Amino acid sequence: MNRSTLLLVVSGLAAAALLLVVLRPDTERSSRLPVVERPTAAASPGDDEVARASRDTGIPARALTAYVDAAERLRESVPGCGLAWNTLAGIGSSESSHGAFGGARLDDSGVASPRIIGVALDGTGGNRAIRDTDGGSLDGDTTWDRAVGPMQFIPTTWERWGESADGGEPDPHDIDDAALAAGRYLCDAGGDLSTSQGWSRAVLTYNQNRAYAEKIAQTASTYADQL
C-alpha cells in the first residue's frame, strides 16, 4: 500500500459506519424507519467567528469552514432542505474525526493527507460485500470497494453525488467537496431536515443504524450548545 494512504481498520458498528448506501430506501421501508429527535440547528458562524467557533467546539477550523459553506450553499440551492452545518459536523466527527483519523490532517486546500481509506467491503466484519466498481481509481482496490475520504463515500455513491465546491474535479478526499456531496445526499434522502422525521430519514439512509443516528444527533446538538 502506498504510504500516502491511510487504511482504516475497524470492526462492528464502527465498520458499518463507513458505508454510505447507494440507493434511497423505498417508500414502504422509509415509513418504517425509526424517528430520532433531530439535533438543535446551530446558526452558521460568520467568517470572523470561525476561529472562536472552532475553539469552542473543538472542530478544526478548516473542517468547520467546509461544513458551514456546504450548509449555506444548500440553503440557497435546496431551500426546503433545512440542513444545518452541525449535522454535517456530527457525521464528519463520526466518520473520520473531521479528516484527522489515525494522524491524517487537512491541508490548506482541505484535502486529507494521508488519504483516509476504509476497509475492503468484502462481506466480513459486519460489512456489506461490494465488488469493485471504480477500477480502484478512488480507493486503490480493484477487487472490492472501500469508503474514502473525510465523509467516507463508497465509489458508486460518490459518482452520483460528488460535486466540486470550487468548480474543479470533484474529490472525495477534499472535505469541501465531501461535505457538499454529503449535504446533497442528505437533502435528497430526507426532504425537510428541519423535522425529526426528515432528519432521521436522511441520516438513517446515510447509515442504516439507529445508534449511529442517535450518536450524530447528540454530537450535533453538543456543537450547537457549545456556541
- 212 to 16, 69, 133, 176: CA distances (angstroms): 9, 24, 26, 23
CB 62 within 8 Å of CB 106: yes
Question: In this prediction, what percent of the chain has a pLDDT beyond 70?
Answer: 86
- How high is the pLDDT of residue 27? 43
- How high is the pLDDT of residue 126? 82
> pTM for this structure?
0.88
Comparing 32 with 81, the larger pLDDT belongs to: 81
Q: For the CA atoms of 68, 175, 124, 206, what is the dihedral angle to 10 degrees? A: 30
- Evaluate if residue 6 carries a pLDDT over 60: no
- Evaluate if residue 31 carries a pLDDT over 90: no
Phi, psi of 92, deg, nearest 5? -60, -35
In angstroms, how far is CA 14 from the centroid of its own chain?
14
Torsion sign, CA atoms 55, 172, 146, 219: positive
Residue 105 to residue 102: CA distance in whole angstroms: 9
- β-partners of residue 111 are 174
pLDDT digits (tens, 9 = 90+) for 124-161: 988 889 999 999 999 999 999 999 999 999 999 999 99
Question: Quick one: which H or E segment has residue 106?
Answer: strand 105-106
Q: Give the DSSP letter of residue 225.
A: H
Here the cell at position 198 is 426528515
pLDDT digits (tens, 9 = 90+) for 90-99: 999 999 999 9
- How high is the pLDDT of residue 9? 37
pLDDT digits (tens, 9 = 90+) for 104-124: 999 999 999 999 999 999 999
- Evaluate if residue 215 carries a pLDDT over 50: yes
